Structure 1
């Protein structure tokens, strides 16, 4: 699968949504193809999935922040039956379960120091997500390159992006795409 084409829809910026009330703005934004949902519960998820799919956008749900569903194999099976096609998680066992259900999976990694880079690479090498998202997106160039060299999958960046220059710098360091909740950054063209 060409992750950047099929999931990011050849766009460099994805919209991060923390509150359901903000969803419509992302759905109707012409520059946004992918929506990263960081806050919701199982009761509203079916309508969100339907709405986003009807608008030909891609939904990636951060499972660790989804309320009302088990963070286990059965919970992921339920999400797949609901029609959810993409997950973001920090938990390696959930990457495996979601992949087995045919979902696209992003492994989220927090980069705190050199050891966390090594651990993240080792973990992602084992569970084989479709992409990794590193936080913060402001990491040094060598971190991004090390991840790409070791994993051979796209590296997304999230967190600590405040200005257009921050986004440009992250992308210039090799990050393939970013996710952000800041609306003014959604207006950037790439």
Structure 2
């Protein structure tokens, strides 16, 4: 976890990519960390090869990869064939499988109300991810509550469109932000 936390602190803007155009822009950007939010079992290795050749720290959102099941075999497939640095998932079981395979793990948590906040904190304590991505990332109160309740780095994601959103999220306790907004990747 130490290397991941250091990477996030040194590179607080994470490029979140949803298509090949984003991939091309991320490769050319200053963003050192990339969240891959698209692909399928046929092209995910190629996507990661491109990012690896450009010295990017790679996380695959395994819930979004077409043709991949959210089970131990699916996570093992990702580790062996795509070879990312880690995975992102909303599913506790995927985080547990990836932890067993010594992949970095980021648990993505959507906070809609007080119950989802409570459930999110409980799941994080049970799965022990290396970091947590809180969505929506512009919800500074939520980030502040998470920072007090958990002991892992927080990444703010979702609806971060302007430099002010980045600064607000970082000032409330997130150590990094993930965004699909290309103009922010070079901050």
TM-score (norm 2): 0.93
Distance 1:168 1:19 in 2: 26
1:4 aligned residue: 5
Q: Structure 1 unaligned runs (5+)?
A: none
Are 1:106 and 2:93 matched, yes or no? no
Maintained 8 Å contact 1:86/1:105? yes
Q: Structure 2 unaligned runs (5+)?
A: none
After superposition, what is the alpha-carbon deviation per residue over 1:87-146, rounded to whole angstroms, capped at 9, x for unaligned?
1000001100011111111000011122211110000100100000000011133x3233
Distance 2:140 2:33 in 1: 25
Distance 1:23 1:97 in 2: 27
TM-score (norm 1): 0.92
Q: 1:35 to 1:168 in 2, by over 3 A?
A: same
Higher mean alpha-carbon deviation, 91-100 vs 112-121, is at 112-121
After superposition, what is the alpha-carbon deviation per residue over 1:38-80, rounded to whole angstroms, capped at 9, x for unaligned?
1111111111222211211111111111012221111111111
| Mapping of residues 101-180 of structure 1, within 5 Å | 101-141=101-141, 143-180=142-179
Distance 1:169 1:147 in 2: 15
Maintained 8 Å contact 1:111/1:134? yes
Maintained 8 Å contact 2:48/2:84? yes
Please give the secondary structure, in 1, of the residue aligned with 2:23: helix
2:42 aligned residue: 43
Deviation at 1:18, TM superposition (A): 0.5
Please give the secondary structure, in 1, of the residue aligned with 2:87: strand
Deviation at 1:9, TM superposition (A): 6.7
Root-mean-square deviation (CA), in Å?
Answer: 1.4
2:68 aligned residue: 69
Deviation at 1:15, TM superposition (A): 0.5
